[in-house]
Chains A and B, each alone.
Chain A
Amino acid sequence: EAGVVQSPRYKIIEKKQPVAFWCNPISGHNTLYWYLQNLGQGPELLIRYENEEAVDDSQLPKDRFSAERLKGVDSTLKIQPAELGDSAVYLCASSLDLSGELFFGEGSRLTVL
């Protein structure tokens, strides 16, 4: 069975440019998470979806970050415009439900120049 798939694995952009990350969760998983991981730190939750609904987006910087999960399956995370401090790994995870074990993708590494 395929795991959580993320793309792109690596992205290099100049500051002020937009960038988008895509996540395909494990089939049948209702809950989807986006985490941000800075170098040497643990992952930090950005947003969590239960089906199509964002049930926790309190940590998402809404001035430049946006996310969507159309039809309750795939999800995209967008940054516009990107800043130097956004350089990090963006991790997507999914679980069967809000209390289930999380399965993570390999992450998308963003470098902002």
Chain B
Amino acid sequence: GAGVSQSPSNKVTEKGKDVELRCDPISGHTALYWYRQRLGQGLEFLIYFQGNSAPDKSGLPSDRFSAERTGESVSTLTIQRTQQEDSAVYLCASRTGFPLTGELFFGEGSRLTVL
């Protein structure tokens, strides 16, 4: 597609359940980033992919969070045993791989609500 696509757009889950959030970046963009935006707050960096590898996972808040990327395209962010504090909008962004100085193109986000 023309832009970054994320699914689901909305997810309501019960505490303790696992969730998977999907990101389909712009075709040809080798760099992919996940961010988290809590209500009324700024964007927190979670993880960065260059191709299929993740050289920077420094923003993942706990070992309940993991992400993978296959085929230099789709990425999945998985949250295990969800907690209420995980409620947020999860944003995916992509950019061309080199140089890494251009704008980030963002998707519309996946809004996660943990009851």
**Do chains A and B interact in one complex?**
no
B-side interface residues toward A, CB under 8 Å? none
* Residues of A participating in the B interface, judged by any CB pair closer than 8 Å: none
